Structure 1
Amino acid sequence: MNGRPNPNPASFEPSDEREEIARLLPAPADWDLPRGRHLHHKDLLMRHIDRDQATTAPTTAITPAAATAPAATAAAARPGRRRLRPVLLAPVTALALAGIVTAAFALNDGDRKPAAGTSSDAAADMQPVSALLGQISDAAGKRDTPTVRDDQFSYVREKVREADLSSGKAVVGPLHDYELWLSQDPEPVQKQGLIRSDGKTMPLNAEFGDTNGTPAGFSRPTYQWLASLPTDPGRLLDHLYAKAPQAENRERDQAVFEQIGDLLDQVMPARTAAALYRAAAKIPGVTETPRAQDAVGRRGLGIARSDTKNGVVTEWVFNTQDFTYLGHSTRLTKDTPYAEAGTLLDSSALLKSAIVDKPGRLPGSEKK
């Protein structure tokens, strides 16, 4: 390669094409995605494949990894899952997309011991934010939680917005509705529930690679699974450092902080919620933030942590009166080729969290 596109693309071998397109793609954001974010990007990949196949020759090849994606993901319009990371893909050929995305999203299971300096022993010195998180924890521990059956579904309704980086520049999309129905079955499931995003409804099938169904866990946090987590804050933090999905190029402390944040909109036992907040207080670098607000502009108390390695800050927002969780935001803290410091990457505002009997039903209503 000489820094310029090959003037004769037809002479490319497949591996040459992948390398050339990978080189030409805009620099992606510096973080990797935990396993729970894969579905969104898998759907985005398939959306690009559909679009490219509609405008290019039908002989374009797809890698085995893309070819094994569930058939339901091939629909042209796919809403993403919640807690979206900015869109990192450019509209190029399906072959290149499949190869690049498969490589970029490779993860391990995170089942190692906490890294030195990041276990609960090293984090035992309470941060200055611990007083506020203690208040939030105490309030959460006093809330009533329902009895949840295995045949029911958790329900979350939010307003969300995300940045799209596929053009090489961050373009923050409009605020839109997001609803999620998630199966509470403790066994691995092929049909997780439903997603309704910006008026479009799609089935939520097993995650990519879960041939036997997606089990309960960090990417499908059922009430029963949440109840099984340790309720001692120190033991819980050790468990999170050892078991939460991890990715390269991201601080482990930040990954655990964000993993806790990904659970906060779920219905869970009061004692689990209380333990999560006290565990968060032990993570190095967690701070209070002034003037926190969620995706719809509700102002509240902020709990945040910055990943100095990758230049992003994630902030949780809580009601100033009763300490209920309101939502989150993630922003850049340093200039990048695709956006300036302060640019919003994603945000949410939690409007409802409940348990319902069927996917598609709303709390307190039998209408679908």
Structure 2
Amino acid sequence: MSEPTAPQVPAIPTARRQALRQHLMNEVTRPARRPQRMLVLAPAAAVLAVVVAAGVIAQPWAPRSAPLIVPVHQGEHVGAPLLLNQMAVAAADTPPPGEGEYVYIRSRVAVAELGDGPARLGPAYEREIWIPRYERGDGLLRQPFLELPVIGVIPDRTTLPDMPPNAEVVDLPGDPDELLAKLHRERDERGRGSSRDGAAFTAIGDLLRESLLPPPTSATLYRAAARIAGVEVVRGVTDAAGRRGIAVARTEQGRRDEWIFDERTFEYLGERSYLVADTADGPAGTVLATAAVLRRAVVPERGQRP
């Protein structure tokens, strides 16, 4: 049986190809780029995506399947602050994590193929990451072996050198108003990208997805999110593991980003991103990315599973 071949990719100038390679390597190997003391992280869809580069690169492993379309339900803006404050109360009562030198997170993700007609969601795959808990040091990422156009081979086991520790990432102001003001300032300093509230929503979502948060920090994040303009509640949503839950969401530039929670316990399940209006990437409801956190724990050593 002959080996499957990757789809043809248009030629790219050498300088552009080198720039894309550097950018995409950062996106593939890091769960979110975490500059020291900077909270505004890459957008959720870009963090999950292996490839997104001006529509010229596709996922060679993705089947030529039809786009995944989900219903675009009406969000509830009035109930969002109430729900988030209820979640903050529940989070504050959560037992603190145990002892260990590394934060371990196992997740399942799927991301859409872009750049050749309507976006098609690729097959879901699992990834594991080990993040230093207290001191800056080497982390570890495990995900399927990939061979991509432009950037080449991505191994299934990748050392993440000199990572900021989990403790530094979650070292946040304890007051929700101060936290939100900090996120707004960081967006203003960058001067580009999403709106101030959009950047704040993205930053909080990145922390919820791939960090281990102390209970008081989680509570502060939820209370800060309750103050973000445009947050809404969406019911009856599903994460990448097929678990149903309730979502806290926000829509900007024709795309809705959702944080998905267990409706009873408020445990964080995952996230989802999809179009809410017809675009070149597909009709309203086209899923761009989805994820589910399957396990979150602390472990004694890098590479050890709980």
Output the TM-score relative to the length of structure 2: 0.71
Instruction: Flag the 1:156–1:246 CA change in 2: closer, same or farther, 3 A.
Output: farther
Letter in 2 for 1:180: I
Asked whether the 8 Å contact 1:332–1:341 carries over to 2, the reply is yes
Q: Which has the higher contact order (CA 8 A, sep 6+)?
A: 2
Question: For 1:1-368, what aligned pairs fall within 5 Å after superposition?
Answer: 61-62=14-15, 66=19, 81=31, 83-85=44-46, 86=49, 87-89=51-53, 90-91=56-57, 128-146=79-97, 152-187=101-136, 189=137, 191=138, 193-198=139-144, 201-206=156-161, 213=162, 215=164, 222-226=166-170, 228-243=171-186, 248-265=192-209, 266-307=211-252, 310-363=253-306
Per the TM alignment, residue 130 of structure 1 is displaced from its structure 2 partner at its CA by: 1.4
Give the Cα separation in 2 of the matches to 1:354 and 1:317: 19
Letter in 2 for 1:316: W
Give the Cα separation in 1 of the matches to 2:290 and 2:89: 26
Per the TM alignment, residue 305 of structure 1 is displaced from its structure 2 partner at its CA by: 0.6
1:115 is aligned to none
1:41 is aligned to none
Per the TM alignment, residue 324 of structure 1 is displaced from its structure 2 partner at its CA by: 0.6
Unaligned runs of 5+ in 1: 1-47, 93-125, 207-212, 217-221, 364-368
Asked whether the 8 Å contact 1:301–1:317 carries over to 2, the reply is yes
Secondary structure (helix, strand or coil) at the match of 2:130 reads strand
Letter in 1 for 2:81: S
Secondary structure (helix, strand or coil) at the match of 1:264 reads helix
Aligned length: 252
What root-mean-square deviation, in Å, do the aligned CA atoms of Structure 1 and Structure 2 show?
3.3
Asked whether the 8 Å contact 1:176–1:198 carries over to 2, the reply is yes
Give the Cα separation in 1 of the matches to 2:118 and 2:169: 39
Give the Cα separation in 2 of the matches to 1:66 and 1:130: 41
Per the TM alignment, residue 304 of structure 1 is displaced from its structure 2 partner at its CA by: 0.7
Structure of greater Rg: 1
Asked whether the 8 Å contact 2:112–2:121 carries over to 1, the reply is yes
Per the TM alignment, residue 316 of structure 1 is displaced from its structure 2 partner at its CA by: 1.0
Sequence identity (%): 32
Per the TM alignment, residue 202 of structure 1 is displaced from its structure 2 partner at its CA by: 2.6
Instruction: Flag the 1:240–1:275 CA change in 2: closer, same or farther, 3 A.
Output: same
